[in-house]
């Protein structure tokens, strides 16, 4: 399912923004926001911006004269981001992180939240980030830690394996949580030209929702996991969502739910 792993179309982008962003992305967007404040960057590029949660966080704290360019490979995600908007003007642009349409030495900072896992050639994407950075510029990105450290994703994956034992949907383990080895990340950065040792910090936070169904819908319907479920038969999406919600309810209770999430935050300097 590698090709489907990158498909964020149809209602996926809307549910991603309404369900997944507050569930797992907003807490780490605030972490990147703090790092951006300290950089005083005048030109910022975001790659794999998704529906703009980090873009919006940065827009509230950058200097008045600063410019933010937010890119993504999926036009549906950019359309959702543009519709939601930001506190200041943002240039939304469809672009491939592995072939950025910008000149060398253009930006003070390049940011990428939970996008690196989707890059087919991570070293090439890092090389492109380095190329467009000014000398001394900063590349900030994060990736999810292994799925066992991210409780809702782990429970949903196990529940769907029980529902589809012959062909269990493995998107969450395979892609979002499939790029977490520190040595691999360091090697890819070095191959991309970041020769200075990068800072890698592992941060555990909490993921909270008003009900067990919220994370079930977020993962089953607001990510490419949906395509993997629907490949089992068009009518199975509702059933899969119910099974995931029941599993979360059994593990975390019947009302408001609270689970651990964990990610690596990486800072590299050109």
Give percent above pLDDT 70 in the chain.
96
Alpha helices (H) in 9-164, listed in sequence order: 12-15, 26-39, 53-59, 75-84, 122-132, 151-163
pLDDT of 5 over the 50 cut: no
- pLDDT value for 12: 82
Give percent above pLDDT 90 in the chain.
92
Confidence of residue 82 (pLDDT cuts 50, 70, 90): very high
Query: Among the listed ranges 11-20, 29-38, 81-90, 238-247, which one has the minimum average pLDDT value?
Result: 11-20
Beta 67-72 vs 257-269: how paired, if at all?
unpaired
Q: Which tokens is 147 given?
A: 């799925």
CATH architecture of the region 4-269: 3-Layer(aba) Sandwich (3.40)
Residues 252, 8: Cα–Cα separation, whole Å:
28
- pLDDT value for 6: 52
pLDDT of 118 over the 70 cut: yes
Name the E strands within the chain. Answer: 43-46, 67-72, 91-94, 107-113, 133-144, 199-209, 257-269
Confidence of residue 197 (pLDDT cuts 50, 70, 90): very high
**pLDDT tens-digit series, residues 91-107:** 999 999 999 999 999 99
207 vs 13, residue with greater confidence: 207
- pLDDT value for 235: 82
19 vs 4, residue with greater confidence: 19
Confidence of residue 13 (pLDDT cuts 50, 70, 90): confident
pLDDT of 4 over the 60 cut: no
Query: Under a CB-based contact definition with an 8 Å cutoff, are residues 178 and 150 in contact?
Result: no
pLDDT of 90 over the 80 cut: yes
Domain extents in the chain: 4-269
- Mean pLDDT for 215-243 is 93
- Mean pLDDT for 166-174 is 96
Crossing angle for the helix pair 213-221 and 236-252, nearest 10 degrees?
140
- Mean pLDDT for 228-254 is 93
- Map tokens 């349409």 to a residue: 101
**Closest Cα to residue 59, out of 51, 69, 50?**
69
């Amino acid at each position: 399912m590698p090709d489907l792993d990158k498909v964020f179309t149809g209602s996926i982008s809307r549910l991603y923004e309404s369900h997944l962003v507050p569930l797992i992305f907003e807490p780490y967007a605030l972490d990147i926001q703090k790092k951006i404040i300290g950089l005083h960057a005048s030109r910022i590029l975001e790659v794999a911006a998704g529906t703009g949660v980090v873009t919006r966080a940065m827009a509230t704290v950058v200097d008045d004269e600063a410019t933010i360019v937010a890119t993504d490979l999926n036009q549906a995600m950019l359309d959702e981001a543009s519709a939601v908007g930001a506190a200041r003007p943002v240039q939304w642009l469809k672009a491939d992180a592995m072939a950025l349409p910008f000149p060398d030495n253009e930006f003070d900072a390049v940011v990428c939240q939970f996008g690196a896992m989707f890059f087919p050639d991570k070293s090439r994407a890092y090389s492109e980030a380095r190329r467009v950075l000014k000398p001394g510029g900063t590349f900030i990105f994060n990736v999810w830690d292994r799925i066992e450290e991210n409780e809702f994703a782990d429970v949903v994956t196990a529940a769907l394996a029980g529902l589809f034992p012959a062909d269990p949907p493995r998107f969450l383990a395979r892609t979002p949580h499939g790029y977490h080895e520190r040595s691999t990340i360091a090697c890819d950065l070095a191959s991309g030209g970041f020769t200075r040792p990068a800072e890698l910090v592992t941060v555990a936070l909490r993921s909270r929702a008003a009900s067990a169904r919220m994370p079930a819908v977020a993962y089953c319907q607001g990510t490419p996991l949906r395509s993997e479920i629907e490949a089992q038969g068009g009518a199975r999406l509702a059933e899969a969502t119910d099974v995931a919600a029941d599993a979360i309810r059994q593990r975390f209770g019947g009302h408001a739910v609270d689970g651990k999430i964990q990610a690596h935050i990486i800072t590299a300097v050109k």
